[in-house]
Structure 1
Amino acid sequence: MMPPSTDSSAGAAEMGKECIVNDQMGPFIVIYILIFIISLPGNLLSVWAFIRSPRTNSTSVYLVNLLVADLLLLLALPFKILKDLGVMPWNLMVFHCQASAVTIYISLYASIAFLTFIITDRYLQDCHSLNSLRLREVGFARLLSLVVWLMLLLIMVPNMALPTNKVQEQQYLKCSSLKTSIGLHWHSLTVFLCTVLFLNASAGVLISSGLALKRLLRSRKDPKLWVNARRAAVSVAAVVLAYILCFVPYHIVRLPYTLAQTKVITDCQTQRKLFLGKESTLLLTVLHLCFDPLLFFYLYEPFRQAFRRMFPCCRSQAASDAEQQAAQEMMQTAASARQEDAVNTRVNPCSTLTGEVAQRPKA
C-alpha cells in the first residue's frame, strides 16, 4: 500500500476542505525579520535627521512623506511576521487581516507615489525653467502630498471597515476567507484602482527618466551643462532602479493572485503558486525600507549635514558642504531672477525701450 501524501493541497482536494496556501512561510519570515532589523536603525536615524534639518523645498516635503510611509510599514511588519509564524492569538490575527495588512498596502502605494514625485522633482530641479520653479514650490508639494494620502485612505479604509465573516479558529488563516461578498468586491476594486495608480506613476517615471536622458545627450558639447545634466541623470537613475526593483515584479503577480482570492481561479496548485509568487514579490517591495535611508542621504543636503553633525570627524566636511549648498542656492536664485526678467521682457517689451529712452540724455 502506498503511504498517504503529505501535500496539503492534495489533502484539501481529497477531504473537500479549503485550499491551504500559506503553510510554507518559513523562509519569508526569516527575510522579513532581517529586513526589519536592518531597516529600523536607518529609518529612526532618518527621523532624527529630518527633525534637525530644515524643509525648505519640494524635495524635502516628498522625502518626509516617504519616511512617514516607511514608518507605517515598520509598525505593521511585526504583525505580519507574528501572523506568518502562527504564534499570534486569534484576535490579533483577525486584527492583522483587517488593519495592519491594509496599512502595509497604504504604505506601499504611498511609497510608489512619493518616489515618483521625487524622480520628477529631481529632473525639474535642473531644468531651471519658470514653470518648473512653480511646480517645485513647497506649498504645491504639500498640497500634492495631502491629495495622495486622502486618496489612499479613501480607497483603503473601507477594507478595514466592511463587516467580516465569522471563521473557525485555524492555524493557517487566509485573510480573504474573512471577507464577505461585498468585501471581496471592494478588495478587487481596490486592487484595480491601485494598479491604475501604479501605471500612472510608472508613466511619470518613464517620462522623467527619458527627459533626463535626452537632456544629458543634448548637453554633451557644453562641459558646464554636461556636469549638471549628468548629476541629474545619475540621481534619477538611482531612484528609478530602486522603483523598478521593488515595485514592478509585485504588480506583475498582483492581478492573477487577486483572481485566486476572488475564487475566479479555483485550482489549488495554481493558488499556491500564485500565493508564493505574491509573497516573493511583496518581499521585494518591503526591501525599499533598507534603500530609502540611502536615498535620503544622497538626495537631500540638509539631511547629510544633520547626519554628519553626529560624528565630530565629519564636521569640517559638513561645513564645506554647507558652503557649497549656499553657493548653489545663490546660483539658482540668480538664474531664477534672470528667467523672470526675461519673461517680463517678453510680456512687455516696451518697458525696456521706455527705460532706455528715459536714460538717453537730452540734446
Structure 2
Amino acid sequence: MDTYKSTNLTCDVNKDLEPFTYFYWLIFMVGFFGSCFALWAFTWKDSNQKCLSVYLINLLIADFLLTLALPFKIIVDMGYASWQLKIFHCQVTACIIYINMYISITFLGFVSMDRCLQTIQSAKLYQIQKRGFATMLSTVVWILVLSIMLPNMLIPTKSIAEREHVGCIDLKTEMGRNWHVLSNFISIAIFLNCSAIILISNFITIKKLYSKKDCEEASNIKSALIKILLVTAGYIICFLPYHIVRIPYTLSQNDVITDCSLKQVLFLAKESTFLLSVSNLCFDPIVYYYFSNNFRSKISKTFSLKRQERVEIVRENATDTAV
C-alpha cells in the first residue's frame, strides 16, 4: 500500500502544458474582440427583439466570463503563476471556465430549438417563444448551472506542500473530490440532453426547409440549410471530443485508473479536447451572425460605411490630383 501511494504521488501529469498556451492566447484574442463587437451590436436598440436575442445575450455573458478566466489558466499553464495564484485558479477561475462551457452548451440548445419553432410556425407553441418565457428559462439555467459549479469554489481546499506540477484535484478534500465527480457526471448529462435538443431541432428544421427547396426562395433556403449544418458541425467539433474523454479522465483523477502512463495519456487527451471546447469563444460570434438579424445588420452597416468612406477619400484624392 505504501508503495502504491508513493507511486501515485510521483505520477505527475500536469506538465508539458506550454504548447497549449499559445493556442489559448490566440483563442482569447479572437474571442475577446468578437465578444466586444457582439456586445456593441447587442447594445443597439432593437424594438423587435425576440426570445432568440435573450438566448444570444446570455451566451455572450458566458463568453465574457470565459475571457476573464482564460488568462489565469494561461499564466498557470505557462508556469509563471505563484502558489497562491494556482490555488485561486483551481478554486475560482477553473470553475468559471466550466460554467461558461455548460451555459454555452445549454443556450446553443435553446437557439436551435427556437430556430426550429420559428420554422414550424405552430400557434400552439407561440407562448414559449415569448421574450418573458425566454427570460424566465434563462434565469433557471443560470441557477441550475451555478448550483452545480459553485460548490467546487466554496468547498475549502486542503493544504499541501508546494511543488512545480500540481493538479487542481490534488488540492481537493475528500468532500471536494466527491462533489467534483458528481458535478462532472451531472455536467455530462446536461451535455447529452442539450446535444439531443440540438440534433433533433436541427434535423426537424433541415427537413422542413428541404421540403421547400423548389419554391421561389430556394436560394435563401439553401443558405439557411448551410448555416444550420455549419453551426451543428461547429458544436460537435467543439464539445463532443471533450465529453468522450471526460469520463475516463475523471476516473483517473480519482484513482479508479491507477496506471501512470495511462493517466498521462488521458490528461493530454483532456487538455487537447478542452482546447477545442474553449474555442467556442471564437465559434459563438459566428452563431450571433447567422442567428441574429440585429447583429448581422450592424456588421453590414459598419463595414458598408467604412467602404463608402474609403471610396469618398479616393475620389477626393483623385480630384486633388486632377486640380
**Pairing partner for 1:145 from 134, 138, 151:** 138
Distance of 1:283 and 1:102 partners within structure 2: 15
1:304 corresponds to which of 296, 300, 319: 296
Unaligned runs of 5+ in 2: 309-323
Match of 1:76 among 69, 82, 87: 69
Cα distance, 1:211 vs structure 2: 1.0
Q: What is the match of residue 194 of structure 1?
A: 187
Which residue of structure 1 aligns with residue 231 of structure 2?
239
Find out whether 1:176 has 2:181 as its counterpart: no
Q: Is the 8 A contact 2:245 2:269 kept in 1?
A: yes
Superposition map of 1:172-321 within 5 A:
172-220=165-213, 222-224=214-216, 230-311=222-303, 313=305
Aligned residue for 1:223, secondary structure, equals coil
CA contact (8 A) 1:215 1:229 kept: no
Query: Which region of structure 1 is more displaced relative to structure 2, 227-236 or 48-57?
Result: 227-236
Task: Give the whole-Å Cα distance in 1 for the aligned partners of 2:186 and 2:293.
Answer: 35
Task: State the partner residue of 1:112.
Answer: 105
| Cα deviation code 1:9-32 (max 9, x no counterpart) | xxx998774311121112101111
Q: Using structure 1 for the length normalisation, give the TM-score.
A: 0.79
Does structure 1 retain, via aligned residues, the 8 Å contact 2:8–2:260? no
- Is the partner of 1:33 in helix, strand or coil? helix
Identity %: 44
1:100 aligned residue (93, 105, 116): 93
Kindly indicate whether the alpha-carbon contact (under 8 Å) linking 2:177 and 2:254 is maintained by their aligned counterparts in 1.
Answer: yes
Q: Which residue of 2 aligns with 1:338?
A: none
Shift in Å, 1:78: 0.4
Paired AA for residue 25 in structure 2:
I
Structure 1 unaligned residues grouped into runs of 5+: 1-11, 317-363
Shift of the alpha carbon at 1:314?
A: 6.3
Q: Quick check: 2:120–2:208 contact (8 Å CA) kept in 1?
A: no
- The one-character-per-residue Cα deviations of 1:91-128 (angstroms, maximum 9, x if unpaired) are 11100000000000000000000111111111211222
Give TM-score, length-normalised by structure 2.
Answer: 0.88
| Counterpart amino acid of residue 275 in structure 2 | L
In the aligned structure 2, how far is the partner of 1:97 from the partner of 1:208?
A: 36
Q: Partner residue of 2:118? A: 125
| Deviation for aligned residue 1:218 | 3.1
Q: Aligned partners of 1:311 and 1:50: how far apart in 2?
A: 17
Equivalent position SS for 2:15: coil
Task: Give the superposition deviation at 1:282.
Answer: 0.4
Report the Cα offset of residue 312 of structure 1: 5.4
Query: What number of residue pairs does the alignment pair up?
Result: 304
**Deviation per residue, 1:184-205 (Å, 9 max, x gap):** 1100000110111111011111
**Hey, what does 1:339 align to over in structure 2?**
none
**Aligned 8 A contact 1:164 1:179 in 2:** yes
Task: Return the letter of the residue paired with 2:56.
Answer: L
Distance 2:72 2:277 in 1: 17
What letter is aligned with 2:248?
P
Distance 1:198 1:15, change over 3 A: closer
Structure with bigger RCO (C-alpha 8 Å, 6+ apart) = 2
C-alpha distance in 2, partners of 1:251/1:216?
A: 31
Query: What do you get for the CA RMSD once the two structures are aligned?
Result: 2.1
1:246 positional shift: 0.3
The letter for the 2-side match of 1:233 is L
